[in-house]
Amino acid sequence: MYLYELRIQGFRRFADIQFRFKNGLNVIVGPNNAGKTAVVDALRVLLSASDEGNLRLTELDLHVAVDGAQSPEATFTFTFRGLSEDEEADFMTALRPRNDAEGKLIEYEACFAVQYTRTEPGNRLKLKRWVGEHPENVMSADMLEELRAIYLQPLRDPALGLKPGRMSQLSKLVHRLSTPEQRDALKKKLGEFDVALMVEPPVSSTNNAITERHTSMLGAELAQLLKLELTPSDFARFASRVGLSVAAMEVEQNGLGFNNLIYMAVVLSELALNTTAAYRGLIVEEPEAHLHPQLQAVLLHYLRAVEMPVEGQRPVQVFVTSHSPNFAALADLDSICCVYQAPGGPAAFNPRDVVFKDKKKEKLQRYLNVTRAELFFARRLVLVEGTAELFVVEALAKKANVDLRKHSVSVISTDGLNFDAFMPLFGKGAMQIPVAVITDADPPATTFPGKDAALELSPNAKLLQAEEDEFVKCFFAKKTLEYDLGFDPVCRTLMLTALEEMHSEIAKDLKAEVDKVDGDDAKATCLFKGTFQRGEGKTKVQKGRFSQLLAYELLESKEAVAVPSYLADALKFRSEEHTSEL
């Protein structure tokens, strides 16, 4: 049994939004203030209702629309799938049929609803819980007990949960791992140990001292029979005495990062060994807070493993929210749930719903490193072909007085991976954020179009253009970025300066050749051929190194640069379009 869908209405940033989850690990990502914490708190409304992590809402939690109108209620609807026959029997009144397109029954799913309603201003919200499709079907306390989830808050100090105490996670785990027979046997041993202690000093000497003083005070006739006793040694008291040390140190002396991992291991053990609850969940908010990237990878790998529990344990559905591109890069694409700001308000997106072309999803997963995973946190996006373009585009944006950071624009290199592996993630049917794809028209190698010539798109460029919609736009160089820069006299000078840093003789000869020809078109062609089409047997110019040096020269130069028109259009599209929506 797992939570398949959560619908949130009238709660904080969310007027009405639906999230779909998978069995096992779910990594909820998105930019700041997108609503990740609201998703976590919505989960807690039901799943932690019988636990110390229970959340209570106030009027401040009710959604406020753009016009200032506040929602009178917040409603949370939870849909569970994958129920066993026993679970269907336990949640009989919560069931509703799930049919295929032909009306045939696929399975029964269980529906739970929680609603907080405002009665009068200043008063507490009225709570109502029901199951199924009718509010008259009251959710019983037994049903709530069947839903077991633990919430781990951000920036937590887990040492308290690893120290002795009746409500500690260690105490709960000891209870979970013991049978009634084992508890009785331990209680008997504790009782026998208490009896043995009574005859040992200082217990026996203390008893004698009290008895003698009492007898001398009252005399033998009035003195009462006194006997020192220990409190009863039951299993619950014993379990509350269990604590944890780490390498012979107190747990407080251990690092927060490792303590968090230890605490999660204890919590997951208790959940996985819980055979009485129908549903088991773990909600972890920002686990990266105390973990460096290597430990984040270790944790994520382990959390994926809970989808396939070992024999004798039960599956646990895990929800993790994260600000870390490292987490997003390491997570399986199918595990990611992205919450972001769409034109119509907050929206949810699951990459697993995207239909990729053959092998493109696998390639994207393989090459999704920390830098490229930033796309799940971006508000606006510029995609470029490689690192060379990344250096130069960012430098040109600064020369054009476009502050990419101020406009929340992330520039991401696909590093040679085809754009069609990334583009399905964006657009009208996916993440609805502005995306500019900056690439080359790629005409034949022998074609050198003029500055004012019409675009001559290659077949691949045409396929890319066909994927455009109102959110995704392609911007093409006449030939390549370096070629188009050559139309501007200032850029030509800076390009030759960058080349001189690498190959002074090549730069000297090429400058002379460029100076001989007339017109910007001819000079751009000459510069491009002499730099990147040098022919067999001649020293090659490394494009990446050249672009790095060119970016430096662009930023150091005080002269105005004519940014290629297609780049200017792309930067304008990302920086000005949809501003009111974002």
> Over the stretch 132-183, which tens digit does the pLDDT of each residue have?
988 999 999 999 999 999 898 876 677 777 778 877 878 888 888 888 898 8
Q: Note whether 567 and 487 are within 8 A (CB).
A: no
Q: How many CB atoms lie within 10 A of CB 472?
A: 26
**Which residue shows structure tokens 């204890």?**
266
Q: What integer pLDDT is reported at residue 403 of this predicted model?
A: 84
Amino acid at 517: V
Burial class (CB in 10 A: 0-12, 13-18, 19+), 323: middle
pLDDT exceeds cutoff 70 at 54 = no
* 244-274 residue pLDDT tens: 878 777 777 788 778 888 888 888 888 888 8
User: Residue 582's pLDDT band (boundaries 50, 70, 90)?
Assistant: very low
Sorted by sequence, the CB contacts under 8 Å of residue 250 that are 6+ apart come out as none
Radius of gyration from C-alpha coordinates of the chain = 33
Q: What integer pLDDT is reported at residue 501 of this predicted model?
A: 93
User: Residue 580's pLDDT band (boundaries 50, 70, 90)?
Assistant: very low
Return the higher-pLDDT residue of 172 and 411: 411
Which has the closest alpha carbon to 114: 89, 139, 92, 91? Answer: 139
pLDDT exceeds cutoff 80 at 417 = no
Which has the closest alpha carbon to 492: 531, 449, 456? Answer: 531
* 367-380 residue pLDDT tens: 887 778 888 988 89
User: Residue 52's pLDDT band (boundaries 50, 70, 90)?
Assistant: low
Sorted by sequence, the CB contacts under 8 Å of residue 267 that are 6+ apart come out as 150, 152, 169, 282
Q: What integer pLDDT is reported at residue 577 of this predicted model?
A: 47
Q: What integer pLDDT is reported at residue 124 of this predicted model?
A: 80
CA–CA distance, 393 with 381 (Å, rounded to integer): 13
Of 9-23, 196-210, 317-331, the range with the highest mean pLDDT is 9-23
Write the secondary structure of 452-482 as one string of H (helix), E (strand) and C (coil): CCCCCCCHHHHHHHCCCCCCEEEEEECCCHH
* 208-252 residue pLDDT tens: 999 888 899 988 888 888 888 877 778 888 888 888 878 777 777
Average pLDDT in the chain: 88
CA–CA distance, 544 with 391 (Å, rounded to integer): 9
Pairing of strands 249-250, 245-246: antiparallel
Supply 543's token pair: 């494009």
Percent of the chain with pLDDT over 70: 96
Q: What integer pLDDT is reported at residue 431 of this predicted model?
A: 94
Q: What integer pLDDT is reported at residue 16 of this predicted model?
A: 96
The CA–CA distances, whole Å, from 249 to 154, 244, 245, 305 equal 25, 9, 6, 30
User: Distance from first CA to last CA of the chain, Å, rounded?
Assistant: 37
* 469-478 residue pLDDT tens: 999 999 999 9
* 488-526 residue pLDDT tens: 999 999 999 999 999 999 999 999 999 999 999 999 999
Q: Note whether 110 and 94 are within 8 A (CB).
A: yes
**Which residue shows structure tokens 């995207």?**
354
Write the secondary structure of 483-529 as one string of H (helix), E (strand) and C (coil): HHHCCCHHHHHHHHHHHHHHCHHHHHHHHHHHHHCCCHHHHHHHHHH
Q: Which helix or strand (DSSP H or E) is residue 410 part of?
A: strand 409-413
Facing residues of 318 across strands? 25, 282
Cis upstream peptide for 202 (omega within 30°): yes
Average pLDDT over residues 536-543: 87
Q: Which of 13-17, 83-87, 229-233, 348-352 has the lowest mean pLDDT?
A: 229-233
Q: What integer pLDDT is reported at residue 575 of this predicted model?
A: 56
Average pLDDT over residues 299-326: 85
Q: What integer pLDDT is reported at residue 581 of this predicted model?
A: 35
| Confidence (pTM) | 0.84
Return the higher-pLDDT residue of 247 and 18: 18
pLDDT exceeds cutoff 70 at 31 = yes
Q: What integer pLDDT is reported at residue 310 of this predicted model?
A: 80
CA–CA distance, 197 with 371 (Å, rounded to integer): 64
User: Residue 300's pLDDT band (boundaries 50, 70, 90)?
Assistant: confident
**Buried/exposed 149-178: b ≥16 CB within 10 Å, e otherwise:** bbbbeeebebbebbeebeebbbbbbbeeee
Supply 40's token pair: 């976590």
pLDDT exceeds cutoff 90 at 429 = no
Q: What integer pLDDT is reported at residue 579 of this predicted model?
A: 39
Of 233-237, 247-251, 356-360, 449-453, the range with the highest mean pLDDT is 449-453
